[in-house]
A and B are shown apart, each in its own frame.
Chain A
Amino acid sequence: MSDEKIKKVSIVVSRGSLDGIYPGLIMANGARMEGIEANLFFTFFGLYGILKKYMNSIKIATVGNPAMRVPDAKGFPLPTWMGALPGMSAFATSMMSKEMEKLDIPPVGEFIEMISDAGGKIYACKATVDMFHLNMDDFCPQLDKVLTVGEFYEMSGGAGTQIIFT
């Protein structure tokens, strides 16, 4: 273990698929569990992770994902055309959700609440908020603030801090 401990992580979530959003949530929550400060910054399609209407229907992309295998992680590669069939994404998502439930990984909404209750901060990217024509009512109540990129860098500063892009 290195002598210089990480004190704060600022994690950027930029993608809106299930595998785009969860890694950031797991890392932020894991940071808080180790006594590390955590900031989550949602930008572009990652913003769907904190939009209350959509945050609990985040799905796995079954197209454009060459590592995707069926029926499980060691099965056959899923051909792109098959991944495009109606219901494939929903099916893959429900399979993975069951596995996550077994590991006590909460659904997105509950996870955001857990991180916020743990003292993690939830931020949204101003450029995306403007581009998507969103307002505060669209967000889950845990949203702390809409930030410009400059403000994001300001609050990500200091010794022992890291910015992580997912």
Chain B
Amino acid sequence: MPEKNINGATIAVDADGFMTDHSQWNKEVADGLAGEEGITLTDAHWKVLDFIASDFAEKGVVPGMRRMNKVGGIPTKDLYALFPDGPIKKAARIAGFPKPASCV
């Protein structure tokens, strides 16, 4: 299992760069991972990351686009604006969760 240093913390990641141990995640790690994607996290980003975390705690999977819209109250356009070119994949990685496994 590869490990890497990010913002002073050591994290375990899989081949696609997704964290494999969520207990190693914190806000500094999130900032570091976001930086790798060229994203500076704002309150709007954190709303998405917080929703993924709370929904993952409830369902055990990263929410899909429709759940983000309907349950999280985050419109599709906003998600693509905040996390360009692959919103859910990028948001899940920054939030320290596994690669999304759903097709939709």
Interface status of A117 (Cβ within 8 A of chain B): yes
Residue A93 at the B interface, CB < 8 A?
Answer: no
Return the contact of B104 from the options A34, A103, A119 (Cβ within 8 A): A103
B77–A26 touching, CB < 8 Å? no
Proximity bits, B76-104, A CB within 8 Å = 1, else 0: 11001000111111000000000000111
Q: Are A34 and B89 in contact (CB under 8 A)?
A: yes
Candidates B67, B80, B84, B104; contact of A117 at CB < 8 Å: B80
Residue from the list A30, A35, A117 in contact with B103, Cβ < 8 A: A30
Is the Cβ of A26 less than 8 Å from the Cβ of B103?
yes
A104 CB contacts on chain B under 8 angstroms: 64-67, 102, 104
Interface string of B48-80 (1 = CB under 8 A from A): 000000000000000011110100000111001
Please give me the residue from chain A that is nearest to B77 by CB atom: A117
- CB-based contact A103/B76 at 8 Å: no
Task: Tell me if A35 and B65 are in contact (CB < 8 A).
Answer: no
Interface of B is mostly: helix
Q: How far is the CA of A32 from the CA of B64 in the complex (A)?
A: 13
Binary B-proximity of A96-110 (CB < 8 A = 1, otherwise 0): 000000011110001
**Contact A35/B86 with A30-B103, A104-B104, A114-B76 known, Cβ cut-off 8 Å:** yes
Query: Taking A26-B104, A30-B103, A106-B66 as contacts, is the C-beta distance between A117 and B75 under 8 angstroms?
Result: yes
With A29-B65, A33-B87, A104-B66 as contacts: A119 and B103 at CB distance below 8 Å = no
The minimal Cβ–Cβ distance linking A44 to chain B, given in whole angstroms, is 25
Asked whether any CB of chain B lies closer than 8 Å to the CB of A118, the reply is yes
Which residues between 113 and 128 of chain A lie within 8 Å of chain B, taking CB atoms? 113-114, 117-119
Instruction: Specify which chain B residues have a CB less than 8 angstroms from the CB of A103 in the assembled complex.
Output: 102, 104
Q: Is the CB of A33 within 8 A of B67?
A: no
Inter-chain pairs besides A104-B102, A118-B77, 20 sampled, C-beta below 8 Å: A26-B103, A26-B104, A29-B65, A33-B65, A33-B87, A33-B89, A34-B85, A34-B89, A35-B84, A35-B86, A103-B104, A104-B65, A104-B67, A105-B104, A106-B66, A113-B76, A114-B76, A117-B76, A118-B80, A119-B80
| A and B contact pairs by CB, cutoff 8 A, 24 listed | A26-B104, A29-B104, A30-B103, A30-B104, A33-B89, A34-B85, A34-B86, A34-B89, A35-B84, A35-B86, A103-B104, A104-B64, A104-B65, A104-B102, A105-B104, A110-B66, A113-B76, A114-B65, A114-B69, A114-B76, A117-B76, A118-B65, A118-B77, A119-B80
The interface of chain B, by Cβ under 8 A from chain A, is: 64-67, 69, 75-77, 80, 84-89, 102-104
